Amino acid sequence: MELTVLLLRQIAIMFILMGIGFIFYRRKLITDEGSRDFAKVLINLVVPVVVLSNFCIEYTPEKGRDFLTSVIISTACMLLSVLLSRLVFHKRDRISEFSAAYPNTGFIGLPLVNAVLGSQAVIHITMMVIYVNILQWTYGVYTITDDKSTDSLRKIISNPVIFAFVLGLIIFFCQIPVPSFAKNIFSIIAGLNTPLAMIVSGVYLAQSDLLKMLKNTNSYLVTLMRLIVIPLATLVLIRFLPVGSLDMKMAILIASACSCGSNVAVFAQLYHKDYVSAVEQVCMSTVFSLISIPLIISLASLLLK
């Protein structure tokens, strides 16, 4: 129950921040260009620093084993998400398949896990963040374009999140000391993740036609898959996996239960696909996730003992 209360409190904070983004955009205090700049700061600086900072801890064999365990669980959960999305949407709508498959682990999952379970738990979902980034640029792009030539190894290697992850692994496993001054800077930058991410989400919501969005039945199906079906399937999976602590499983479940990753709108626009539907799916799933995530975690609190 305490976990659910903490989660509800954080969801309320995120909802208010999203409302600020919505109001500021509608009042023209944030422009389209400004929101894109916010997103660039998040993708290229804030999220990579969040990932890196969580490896700047003292290495112990137990922490090393915990990280490897989180890799195993995250791999299983991401495969499940991609397979279920393909099963439901592959012959129906490729944008919807992309939307349902990849949760918003970077913008929503990271701040939620940090607020609810503590900064020490964020490392448990690092692999989820990495998998989402890698899969979106490879299998995800192939999903919406049906063109294998669009896969880009260079874009993956140059991705700041991937770079931060590799650097973090080196620091962690090689036990390279990080000065307290650098850790303080990381902490300040990482603190921008929640406000910036939710303000950008609010801008996305403000850009959509709310009435049209509410009439789009396909968006409801995507939201149902992303927020209910896939998280419940993930809960069943991790319930019976014989490895991983309770905090680790809860952290990965929170990441898996997040709304559609906002990158689906970016890729839809980049490859001249249905950008409007992509934005509607991101917005609808983000709004409903404010209700669904606490429900999923409340259920998990009963089942994961």
Name all domains of the chain by residue range, CATH numbers in brackets.
Answer: 2-303 (1.20.1530.20)
Q: Residue 136 has what pLDDT?
A: 82
> Residue 177: how many CB atoms within 10 A of its CB?
9
How much is the average pLDDT of 101-116?
86
User: What pLDDT, in 10s, does the model give residues 54-74?
Assistant: 888 888 888 889 999 999 999
CB 256 within 8 A of CB 230: yes
User: What pLDDT, in 10s, does the model give residues 244-283?
Assistant: 899 999 999 999 999 998 778 777 766 778 777 888 888 8
User: What pLDDT, in 10s, does the model give residues 180-210?
Assistant: 999 999 989 988 887 887 888 788 778 777 7
How much is the average pLDDT of 7-16?
80
> Residue 294: how many CB atoms within 10 A of its CB?
19
pTM recorded for the entire structure: 0.83
User: What is the per-residue burial (b if ≥16 Cβ within 10 Å, else e) of 251-262?
Assistant: bbbbbbbbbbbb
The helix (run of H) or strand (run of E) holding residue 137 is none
